[in-house]
Amino acid sequence: MVGMPGGTSSDLDRDYGRTIALAPTGEIVFAGEWYDGSSYDFALVRLTATGGLDSSFGTGGKVTQHGFSASAPLRGVVIDGSGHVIVAGALSSFGGNYAIARLTSLGAPDTSFGGTGYVTTSVVHPVADSVTAFQPIGVQSNGKVIIGGGDATPTSNFVLARYDTNGQLDTTFGVGGIATLAVSGGADIITSLRVLSDDRIVAAGVGNKNMLPWEAGEFAVALFEANGTPVASFNGTGFATVDIYPEPVPAPCRVAVTVTGLDLDRLTQRRERDGAVWGSARVEGVYRAGTLTVTRQLDDRPGPVPDVIRADRVPCPEPPGGWPRQPADPSRLLGALSAAVQAHPETYNGPWVRYPYGWHLQDTSDRKGIEVYLVGTTGDVEAARAALGELVPAEHLCVTAVRWSKAAMDAAQEQLSGPAAEAAGISAGRGELLEDRVVAELVVLDERASDYLATVAGGRVTPRPLLRKLR
């Protein structure tokens, strides 16, 4: 076990080794990040062939804080033919600038690369206006650096970038130094790459036709020429995909309508298995007596990817000096609030965790990651705040008025999921805690569904019909 400098003994389990490279002479270099007590930064360690720290590398076998800003996890490391150690990683876990650094064989910055030994760049996807995150890395025989990844949008492709030996993007590679390849039409990302002896590049990763970058997809591999052009003779497309466990055929919908005039070949996220075809489509048509006759089939548009690091709205005034950082064991506070809600479900709802300054896994600058614990009450807010303040310090607590208690929300969802609801054309009910509402999902809001919804929770349920009247 190797601990990085600067942290207390309790911080050592927050050092992460991510990837390794082997030198021709047997040394082992592994890279990742370390926690210095306030933020993360990149870290490199080199071991001798016998497993001891190589004291000729960096300081005692370790290199940290190579001039990068905080939160620089390394995801790729390679050793080139001259013995340089080249690393790559994102300066942020959810997009933003990424960094490539080149060190000498002794662990010192190689200033012939970018002038400082490293470069930080934002590469914008040529199609989708979003920042690309790179992870794996390789080196061609001429010393040029290849990195691979993808961007965090539903339309992302496999993306490769190539850098000259001086640290500049090589504009002879792909388009302006960037090569892209659409593998699935969804959220594709390269997670591993190898440079072959003829300098062609094999890239492997995820081809995700589900359109969401955080969901699993299928295995994908692509072959590129040395200049970033896909090799068309490879599977006829330049890439191949494999479903290890194909998605099962969905069960029939409990509430459904007959659809005619739909072009199944134009479905978005189209699947076909065992004679069944399914997917999604945006259509206009005429609905009558349980049948939708399609008159116009539109191109489907993927929804926006949630911005998971945005600042949350907190419906309570900010304390003087701002919301303070939560204690080291926030689960204890949440557990106490959850127990209070369970004990008084007819009055309380929640709790929720809100991030008033935004959330980030590693970057805690600008107060990111500070938590506020929110509880809703249908009763007197000041009385609830006083009672709950005995469980959680007031500076971490927000109590707000809501229309839906936990008991009322649970009861409404139960009414919207039974046989009577299904007979009224309602497929499901869902409590949306932060929006303080219960939603009924249904195909069409007709008289039968309206009559039933009027009997649930005094008519307070929000209908969400799949078919909406245009005129």
| % the chain with pLDDT above 70 | 81
* Position 10 pLDDT exceeds 50: no
pLDDT of the residue at 57: 95
CA dihedral of residues 407, 408, 414, 417 (deg, nearest 10): -140
- Residues 43-56 have pLDDT tens digits of 889 999 999 999 99
Q: Is the pLDDT of residue 3 over 90?
A: no
What are 417-427's pLDDT values in tens digits?
Answer: 889 999 999 98
- The pLDDT of residue 304 is 56
pLDDT digits (tens, 9 = 90+) for 218-265: 889 999 999 999 999 999 999 998 877 777 888 887 778 899 999 998
pLDDT of residue 38: 60
Whether the pLDDT of residue 454 is over 90: the answer is: yes
What is the pLDDT, as a whole number, of residue 449?
92
Closest among 32, 22, 142, 30 to 79, alpha carbons compared: 22
Q: Is the model's pLDDT at 415 over the cut of 70? A: yes
% of the chain with per-residue pLDDT over 90: 46
Look at the pTM and tell me if it is higher than 0.95.
Answer: no
In this predicted structure, what is the pLDDT of residue 301?
63
Band of residue 326 on the pLDDT scale cut at 50, 70, 90: confident
158-171 residue pLDDT tens: 889 899 999 999 99
Please, which pLDDT band fits residue 404 given cuts at 50, 70 and 90? Answer: very high
Of the pLDDT bands very low, low, confident and very high (cuts 50, 70, 90), residue 308 is low
pLDDT of residue 214: 44
- Out of 179-193, 206-220, 322-336, 366-380, give the one with best mean pLDDT: 366-380
The 3 state secondary structure assigned to the chain is CCCCCCCCHHHHHHCEEEEEEECCCCCEEEEEEEECCCCEEEEEEEECCCCCECCCCCECCEEECCCCCCCCCEEEEEECCCCCEEEEEECCECECCEEEEEECCCCCECCCCCCCCEEEECCECCCCCCEEEEEEEEECCCCCEEEEEEECCCCCCEEEEEECCCCCECCCCCECCEEEECCCCCCCEEEEEEECCCCCEEEEEEECCCCCCCCCCEEEEEEECCCCCECCCCCCCCEEEECCCCCCCCCCCCCCCEEECCCHHHCEEEEEECCEEEEECEEEEEEECCEEEEEEEECCCCCCCCCCCCCCCCCCCCCCCCCCCCCCCHHHHHHHHHHHHHHCCCCEEEEEEECCCCCCCCCCHHHCCCCEEEEEECCCHHHHHHHHCCCCCHHHEEEEECCCCHHHHHHHHHHCCCHHHHHCCEEEEEEECCCCEEEEEEEECCHHHHHHHCCCHHHCCEEEEEECCCC
- Examine the pLDDT at 215 and tell me if it is beyond 60: no
pLDDT band at 212 (very low <50, low <70, confident <90, very high): very low
At 73 the pLDDT is 61
pLDDT in tens, 91-137: 554 444 567 889 999 999 999 998 988 887 655 443 333 334 556 88
Least confident of 28-32, 95-99, 126-130, 307-311: 126-130
What's the pLDDT at 49? 92
pLDDT over 60 (residue 12): no
